[in-house]
Amino acid sequence: MSTRLDWISHPAGALRGELRVPGDKSISHRALMLAALAEGRSCIEGFLEGEDTRATAAVLQQLGVRITAPADGVRMIDGAGLRGLRASAQPLDCGNAGTGMRLLAGLLAGQSFDSTLVGDASLSRRPMRRVIDPLTAMGARIDSSDGLPPLHIHGGRNLRGATIDTPVASAQVKSSILLAGLYAEGTTEVREPQPTRDYTERMLAAFGWPITFGPGWARLEGGHRLRAADVRVPGDFSSAAFFIVAACVTPGSDLVLREVGLNPRRTGLLDTLRAMGADIAIERLGEQGGEPVGDLRVRHAPLRGIEIPVVHVADMIDECPVLFVAAASAQGRTVLRGAAELRVKESDRIAVMAAGLRRLGIAVEERPDGAAIEGGALRGGEVDSAGDHRCAMSFAVAGLVADAPVHIRDCANVATSFPGFLDTARAAGMAVTAAPATDEAAA
């Protein structure tokens, strides 16, 4: 009999003080993979101790890479070199990690051996043709279940560099192609319909691979080597986003978030919230491992509804669920367009957030690629996160400013990206508690 973890988020007072959020999940995934392919020993500090990133580490260990954890948030990786991975007799389990599976597909497409990537029930419903098709154009052979996992990747293929115009703006797709390009003969170039985060490009350069890139494009040649490098992972902006919005919407709040990654391809939420009237200041701006990092000071200010510029959407796609909560707390109507990608995340995030906010008294008009949200008074009630970590944490923020507690169903997957969320939330002044586990069949 399986159990379900629920939360109850209670109305609370102002958020004050300072806090740090866990290391960036996207950077943690990429640092593991490039360190595994490098020559020499790399050290990753600030590594996210989440289920997704641990799943990627376990896959690389199955492929023969030595990875040790001398302390919490630290990984030492003895790189196998570009051609040093070994075949695994067992499937490679990515758990719930869509980033892990898509990037590993590119990395494994150039190996001499066959591999099979599998995932949990949620990941098994996520679209993989977006990486299968461009990798196939480079000479890879990948079998799937009509574009869904599991993925069987055939080894021994001679990959060819190609110019790929990606149909979707996705850093995961771009990164998968670039990782395959390490093994390809000739030049690999990726061109995107909109610029996406450039973590992979920056990190490839840090590990010594020649690469040129700019907003919306990246180009590299095969035939080089990766050199071990030490990586310090900044705080995850997506994790910080819940507390940014919480402080924006809760009267009296004055909260500082320390050492948050501020990659310009990641911070569309800041631009959007500021356009809505938010009071957010960046302090102590610096750099860690080629990534801009700074402290964010967030003070409560009344928000107003806006039409969100589509240009910001790709730079905040993971933050859109909590943006729904900001919009619900704003005065007037907020319109989000160009976010169809939300339909194929861990859940259909547009549908999940729209349904939950309606249950809390907010008028939401759901659209194929977004929503129109009428700000209003949030009331208490019960909502279903559909097992989606970002939706669960977003509803926890909604409970702060509701007129009664919000009961959030199915929150266990928060551990994939933000272990310790409840402790961090309490430290900030939020009142979120774990509800008694209930049997799913009886719920």
Region at 100 (left for phi over 0; alpha for psi -120 to 50; beta for the rest):
alpha
Q: Could you tell me the CA-to-CA distances from 158 to 37, 84, 137, 176, 187 in Å, in that order? A: 18, 17, 12, 16, 14
Q: What is the dihedral of CA 419, 66, 35, 127, to 10 degrees?
A: -60
Do residues 371 and 340 touch, judged by C-beta distance below 8 A?
A: no
Neighbouring C-beta atoms of residue 76, cutoff 10 Å = 15
Do residues 368 and 375 touch, judged by C-beta distance below 8 A?
A: no
Pull the structure tokens for residue 277.
């009237």
Return phi, psi of residue 94, to 5°.
Answer: -90, 0
State the Cα–Cα distance between residues 259 and 255, nearest whole angstrom: 13
Q: Could you tell me the CA-to-CA distances from 201 to 33, 255, 361, 371 in Å, in that order? A: 13, 32, 43, 32
Do residues 283 and 336 touch, judged by C-beta distance below 8 A?
A: no
State the Cα–Cα distance between residues 137 and 139, nearest whole angstrom: 5
Q: Which residues are catalytic?
A: 318
State the Cα–Cα distance between residues 13 and 15, nearest whole angstrom: 7
Do residues 326 and 248 touch, judged by C-beta distance below 8 A?
A: yes
**DSSP letters spanning 172-198:** HHHHHHHHHHTTSBSEEEEE-SS----
State the Cα–Cα distance between residues 338 and 317, nearest whole angstrom: 10
State the Cα–Cα distance between residues 206 and 226, nearest whole angstrom: 9
Neighbouring C-beta atoms of residue 408, cutoff 10 Å = 27
Do residues 407 and 10 touch, judged by C-beta distance below 8 A?
A: no
